Structure formats: C-alpha cells, structure tokens
A and B are shown apart, each in its own frame.
Chain A
C-alpha cells in the first residue's frame, strides 16, 4: 500500500478491504539505469520498470554512441577504414580489422603468405586475451570485488607493451593490410609476446581462485540470468555468451579461417547458461588463446609478411560475407563492392548488437542486483552495439 502525497488519503475501510482481499497493490517505479552509470560499460541506458526489487520489464535504449560507421565507410577507402573499424569493439581492436581485409582479399582473390597468417593469428589471439582480461576485471568490479581489476590490468600491460613494439599503438593498432600485415614485426616481439602470455597463464590460477572459487561470487552468479540455447539462436547471440548456454558455436572450429585448422585447441562451453557459466567460459578462453599463441609462435614460418598486392586496392564488383570469431562473438562484414576504391555498402554485423538485443528476455523477473550481474556477464562494448 502506498500513499502518494498527490492523491487523497484512502478511506481506511477501503484499505482494510483491500488487504483482506489479499491484493497488495505495490507501485511500479520507472528506474533509469544510465546512460551515466558505473555498471554499464559506456553510455548505455536501460529503462527498467521495477516493483520493489524485482524487475518487471527492461528495455535497453541504445544509440548514444552511434557514429554512423556504415555511412562513414562509404566515403573512405579501405586503408582509411582500417583505423575506423578498430574503434568499434575497442577492446579487441585488431580483430575488427581482420574480417574486412579478409572480405577484400576474397573479392580480389589475393593470397596471404603463411607467415602473415600465423602472425595474424598471434595478434588476434593476443587481443582476445586482452579483451577477456578486461571483462574479468569489470565483472568482478560490478559485483563488488574490486581487487581483480588491478591484477588483470597488470597482466594487460605486458601484452600491450609487446604489441606496441610492433604496431606503435597500445589499443588501436591499424596493422592489417590486404594480403597480410603492414610490415614485419621487430626482433624480440615473438619472445616478448610468449613471455607475456605465459605469465598471464601462470597467474590465471590465482585469479581463478580469487573469483570463481569465492562462495559469495558463486551465490551471486549461479542460476542468475539463464539464457536458453534456442532463444540464443533466435536472437543471434554468439561468442562466450552463447557458449555459456552449452552451444558449441565457434567460427574458428566450424569454418576455420586463417590457419586455425592447424592448431590444437578446445572450445570451452558452459552447461546451464547462467552468469557463472558465461564467466567460466570467458576465463577458459584465455587458456585456449594462450595455447594457440604458443603453437603459432613455435610454428611460425619465415617468409614475406605481405603478399602480391596491386598498388591500388580496388575489389571488383561483387558481394561477400566474411565472418570471424571476435572476442565477444561473431563479427561479420557484408561487403558490396562496385569496383570502386571505396566500398559501395558495408554492412557490419557486430556481436554485441545481437547479444544485447537478448537482454529484455533475460532480464524479466530478476532482481535489481541481479540485473547488474547479468549486464556485466553479457560482455558488451558500446562501440560494438552502436557502431
């Protein structure tokens, strides 16, 4: 029973009658989570209708960071686009550049030399580790465990330093080109990367116990925010979030690109599709990426880093859809070229967009605190959603 000061005081007999009938009329409150909010990664707004502490309805409102990528790329040639798309999912930077160049190479029928393939794999997987460490930090912080943030960022530093020696950037690399990479990596890069990755794996056991072994963490995440596999397919959810729902869904295994079919790695999967499983999948993917990097560095062939590429990148007329396994899911580029230096239409299919569209379904009927855990476990990046 609520007494709103704007309304008149109810007749006491009516109050008693209502209570006797058993209908406790509670008022629903519209709570605006965001766009400025510490728990949402970036300017993301959730219109939540809450009844006490239970979420009756949740509607994400996006577009605060819409930069119009699909229009911008129509006015730029492919090298300019490289740096642009690196800023979509800004935690897995070089992974955004990869499918675009693969699409161009498919249309132009360019061959990528083996050394470039292996080096691309090393960089892409290193970026996956960076991305997953970042979400490891942020998920803990949202639940109140403030310490993993510092440990995770310490590990990220070493990998970023190695990438900086090769590409010149710590976050946005702009390193891929048609037919390979911009230039060969400096001496010591592979050793530095290997050492950094091995250190991450050494320390992951500690971090694993810090969060996953924690009773409170388990109580907050097990059984919370269950996503059924069929619903995941229907919305287009992919990546660690889908694999947490026991879906064996990995582009690197289903349709191997680059040289992934030559590496031995597993695809971690959860069992019940709750927050805990999604997080568990995230952590284990770090181990798998480290395995891939080790195998790639050991088997790194020598040779040119850039294939035979014409001077001007001008794909002939055609359309192609190339997809890769981004850290957060399936990233795809539908490239329509009309023979120009610039793409005619490039539809960018980003993973976080589809993942977040499933949020209203998962959030119905959960607590406000669970909402935070679920938002954190959905691992989205605003640049990916809003493009």
Chain B
C-alpha cells in the first residue's frame, strides 16, 4: 500500500519518531549505566522497580523528579536560569536527526551531516555557562568555567578527527561515509583510522564531561558544578537526560564514522541477511559499554592536566592525522575504495 504524505505530514512523523526514540534510548542507556557500574563494583544495582531486575528504575526516578519542588535561588537570574537546561537539552535531541540506523532508516540524510552534528552539539556549551553563571553560587561558577574551558578545548580534536574521516570518505553525509568505508573499518588506512578513533573517543568522553574528564561536575569537590542549584525536572532535563542522550549519540556517531555503521562486521555474505540496523545497534552498544566501563575505573584528572592533554597531545596528533589523511587522498585514492 503506497502511503504518500505531504511534506508537512512527513515532518510531523519525523518529529514524532525523534521525540519517541530519544527518551527511550536514554532510558535504556541510563539503566545500562546503573547495572554495568553496579556489577563492576561487586553489587547488584537496581533490583526492585518494575519487578525484574529493576528495569523501571529511571521511570520511577522521572516520576519522583516530577513531584519535586521547583526551587530557584532568590539571587539567581531567573530568565537565564530557566533557559539554561533548555539550551543544553535541545541540541542533545537534535543530534539524532542525522544518525543512520540503516541505509534508509534515517530521519534526514543531510548532505552536511557531520558538519551539522558538530555544530549543533557545541551549542550546549553555552547552556552550561548560562546555568553556572545564573545560579548565583560560587561552586556553580567554578564548575561552569571549568566546563566552558574543557568543552571548548576538546571541540578541536573531535572536529579534526571527524574531518579526517570526511576527507577519506569524500562526503559529509553520514550514510555516504558508511558506504565509503572499506573493510576493516577503523584499521584502514593503516594508522590513521585507529588513531583518529581513539582521539575521537577520548575527546568524546571529555565533551560529555564524563569520568575521567568530569572535573566540571566533580561531585566530591564542587557538588555537580554548574547544576548545583537545579532541582526537579530542570535538573533531569538539563543534566542527566542531556548527558545520557549525548552519550548515546556519541556512541552512535563513533560507530557510524569509525566502525562501519550498518555494515556487517566482516564482509561475509551470509551475514548480509541480518538487517543493517542490528549491526549498527551492536556497534553502538559496544561503544556505549566502553563509556560506561571507563567511569567506575578511573579517578578524575585535574583541570590543568585535562587542558594539557587536549592542547599538547590531542590537537597536535589530530592535526598530524589531517595531514596524513590529505596525503592518502592525494596520492593513493584508489586504496580508499570500499
């Protein structure tokens, strides 16, 4: 049965898909974080909400937060205070527009997919600064400034390592990048793909302000940093929800750019029977697990060590990678064909 929709109806369907999928992914990823961290720490994690191994823990948390009192500090700048979580949350959702689950399972295959991704995700930096400044709290201020410095510093390695892939693939569209990747995905071209992947993942953890790069939200020092004064739904949307959604998005983008997206793991014909989005989900889940694994394992880096790492290690490495990728594209373009 042919369904033809007008442009506006198609737009509404796509919006509905995103608004349905993103919270669902967040809940799954959040639950995975609880359980993975728990088992790494020799404990069980949530067991009661929902009955079976506490699957409904985040739903219960969400309900609880809805009931909480909305406290705004008296000295806070009210308009900015209320706007900040929105400024953090909306970019996190908009990133999902271009993530390809399969060749055609994508909300909108923009020609400038990668560019759009990187641009949108960097808008949340302003939200963090807004949150910290408007809270009228010294700890929040310290956290916001740390976050601002960190996020800006780690934008560069992400952009550069993504640029490497764009150069090698010749297109910024995410579907196009997946289809242009030869096998084995990150190991080709030798040396560049793997290093770019590591740089991307490392800066991704820093962009997400997740441990070991979670200085801005260092709980034992400045008690959630920029978001100290937030409570209730503002806190959930601005801090928790956005972070987890961003984390899933980063895992998905990493899988798309470096691990071959919806292509099977090995180009063995029987594996083609398994639909592409299964491969995509597997790869993204693996990267998500890496993010979750790193959190309980390492202590956190100090802010100046963090900055040193970005400016003195990651950026020179990624600049060199861009050079190397350019050389490949110029002198051996045939080797880059899938």
A and B touch in the complex (CB under 8 A): yes
- What are the 10 A-B residue pairs with the smallest beta carbon separation, nearest first? A144-B300, A143-B299, A145-B299, A144-B299, A150-B41, A147-B296, A369-B302, A39-B220, A142-B220, A38-B220
CA distance A53 to B303 in the complex (A): 9
Q: A29-B138, A31-B138 are in contact. Are A141 and B220 (CB under 8 A)?
A: yes
Once the chains bind, are A145 and B298 in contact (CB under 8 Å)?
yes
Chain B's interface size range is 20 to 34
Q: A150-B43, A369-B215 are in contact. Are A143 and B300 (CB under 8 A)?
A: yes
Task: Indicate if B221 sits at the interface (CB-CB under 8 A).
Answer: yes
Task: Indicate if B218 sits at the interface (CB-CB under 8 A).
Answer: yes
What residues of chain A lie closer than 8 Å to B304, measured between beta carbons? 53, 367
Q: Chain B's nearest CB lies how many Å from the CB of A218? A: 10
What residues of chain B lie closer than 8 Å to A147, measured between beta carbons? 40-41, 296-297
What residues of chain B lie closer than 8 Å to A150, measured between beta carbons? 41-43
CA distance A220 to B298 in the complex (A): 11
Once the chains bind, are A219 and B301 in contact (CB under 8 Å)?
yes
14 contacts between A and B (CB under 8 A): A29-B138, A38-B220, A140-B299, A143-B300, A144-B211, A144-B212, A144-B300, A146-B295, A214-B299, A216-B212, A216-B299, A220-B301, A220-B305, A369-B303
Task: Indicate if A43 sits at the interface (CB-CB under 8 A).
Answer: no
What residues of chain B lie closer than 8 Å to A38, measured between beta carbons? 219-221, 223
Task: Provide the main secondary structure of the chain A interface.
Answer: helix
CA distance A220 to B303 in the complex (A): 10
Once the chains bind, are B299 and A217 in contact (CB under 8 Å)?
yes
Task: Indicate if A258 sits at the interface (CB-CB under 8 A).
Answer: no
Q: Chain B's nearest CB lies how many Å from the CB of A144? A: 3
Task: Indicate if A368 sits at the interface (CB-CB under 8 A).
Answer: yes
Counting residue pairs across A and B whose Cβ atoms lie within 8 Å, the total is 76
Residues 294-320 of B, flagged 1 when their CB comes within 8 A of A and 0 if not, give 011111111111000000000000000
What residues of chain A lie closer than 8 Å to B300, measured between beta carbons? 143-144, 216, 220
Once the chains bind, are B299 and A154 in contact (CB under 8 Å)?
no
User: Contacting B221 at CB < 8 Å: which of A140, A154, A219, A372?
Assistant: A372
CA distance A147 to B41 in the complex (A): 6
What residues of chain A lie closer than 8 Å to B212, measured between beta carbons? 144, 216
Q: Report which residue of B139, B218, B295 has the largest number of chain A beta carbons within 10 angstroms of its beta carbon.
A: B218
Other A-B pairs, 18, CB within 8 Å; known A39-B221, A141-B220, A367-B303:
A38-B219, A38-B221, A53-B142, A53-B303, A140-B299, A143-B299, A144-B211, A145-B296, A145-B297, A147-B41, A154-B42, A214-B298, A216-B212, A219-B305, A369-B218, A369-B302, A369-B303, A370-B302
Task: Indicate if B155 sits at the interface (CB-CB under 8 A).
Answer: no
Once the chains bind, are A216 and B221 in contact (CB under 8 Å)?
no
- Nearest residue (CB) in A for B295 is A146
Q: Chain B's nearest CB lies how many Å from the CB of A152? A: 11
Q: A219-B305, A220-B301 are in contact. Are A144 and B220 (CB under 8 A)?
A: yes
What residues of chain A lie closer than 8 Å to B301, measured between beta carbons? 216, 219-220
Task: Indicate if B214 sits at the interface (CB-CB under 8 A).
Answer: yes
What residues of chain A lie closer than 8 Å to B302, measured between beta carbons? 219-220, 367, 369-370
CA distance A236 to B184 in the complex (A): 63
What residues of chain B lie closer than 8 Å to A217, measured between beta carbons? 299
Residues 189-223 of B, flagged 1 when their CB comes within 8 A of A and 0 if not, give 00000000000000000000001101100111101
Q: Report which residue of A38, A140, A219, A369 has the largest number of chain B beta carbons within 10 angstroms of its beta carbon.
A: A369
CA distance A142 to B220 in the complex (A): 5
Task: Indicate if A151 sits at the interface (CB-CB under 8 A).
Answer: yes
Once the chains bind, are B298 and A144 in contact (CB under 8 Å)?
yes
Q: A31-B138, A38-B219 are in contact. Are A144 and B297 (CB under 8 A)?
A: no
Once the chains bind, are B214 and A144 in contact (CB under 8 Å)?
yes
What residues of chain A lie closer than 8 Å to B223, measured between beta carbons? 37-38
Chain A's interface size range is 20 to 34
Q: Chain A's nearest CB lies how many Å from the CB of B44? A: 11
CA distance A145 to B219 in the complex (A): 11
What residues of chain B lie closer than 8 Å to A144, measured between beta carbons? 211-212, 214, 218, 220, 298-300
What residues of chain A lie closer than 8 Å to B296, measured between beta carbons? 145-147
CA distance A142 to B289 in the complex (A): 24
- Nearest residue (CB) in B for A151 is B42
Residues 24-66 of B, flagged 1 when their CB comes within 8 A of A and 0 if not, give 0000000000000000111100000000000000000000000
- Nearest residue (CB) in A for B296 is A147
Within residues 43 to 86 of chain A, which ones have a CB less than 8 A from any CB in chain B?
Answer: 53
Within residues 184 to 231 of chain A, which ones have a CB less than 8 A from any CB in chain B?
Answer: 211, 214, 216-217, 219-220
What residues of chain B lie closer than 8 Å to A372, measured between beta carbons? 220-221
- Nearest residue (CB) in A for B141 is A29
CA distance A29 to B324 in the complex (A): 47
What residues of chain A lie closer than 8 Å to B42, measured between beta carbons? 150-151, 154
Q: Chain A's nearest CB lies how many Å from the CB of B282? A: 27
Q: Report which residue of B42, B220, B301 has the largest number of chain A beta carbons within 10 angstroms of its beta carbon.
A: B220
CA distance A150 to B218 in the complex (A): 19
Q: Chain B's nearest CB lies how many Å from the CB of A335? A: 39
CA distance A217 to B299 in the complex (A): 6
What residues of chain B lie closer than 8 Å to A219, measured between beta carbons? 301-302, 305
Q: Chain B's nearest CB lies how many Å from the CB of A115? A: 37
- Nearest residue (CB) in A for B222 is A368
Q: Chain B's nearest CB lies how many Å from the CB of A34? A: 12
What residues of chain B lie closer than 8 Å to A37, measured between beta carbons? 223
Once the chains bind, are B299 and A220 in contact (CB under 8 Å)?
yes
What residues of chain B lie closer than 8 Å to A53, measured between beta carbons? 142, 303-304
Within residues 246 to 263 of chain A, which ones have a CB less than 8 A from any CB in chain B?
Answer: none
Q: Chain B's nearest CB lies how many Å from the CB of A130? A: 19
Q: Chain B's nearest CB lies how many Å from the CB of A174? A: 32
Residues 364-378 of A, flagged 1 when their CB comes within 8 A of B and 0 if not, give 000111101000000
Residues 109-153 of A, flagged 1 when their CB comes within 8 A of B and 0 if not, give 000000000000000000000000000000011111111011100
CA distance A355 to B18 in the complex (A): 57
Once the chains bind, are A369 and B221 in contact (CB under 8 Å)?
yes
CA distance A369 to B296 in the complex (A): 19
Q: Chain A's nearest CB lies how many Å from the CB of B143? A: 11
- Nearest residue (CB) in B for A210 is B297
Residues 67-98 of B, flagged 1 when their CB comes within 8 A of A and 0 if not, give 00000000000000000000000000000000
- Nearest residue (CB) in B for A150 is B41
CA distance A154 to B297 in the complex (A): 17
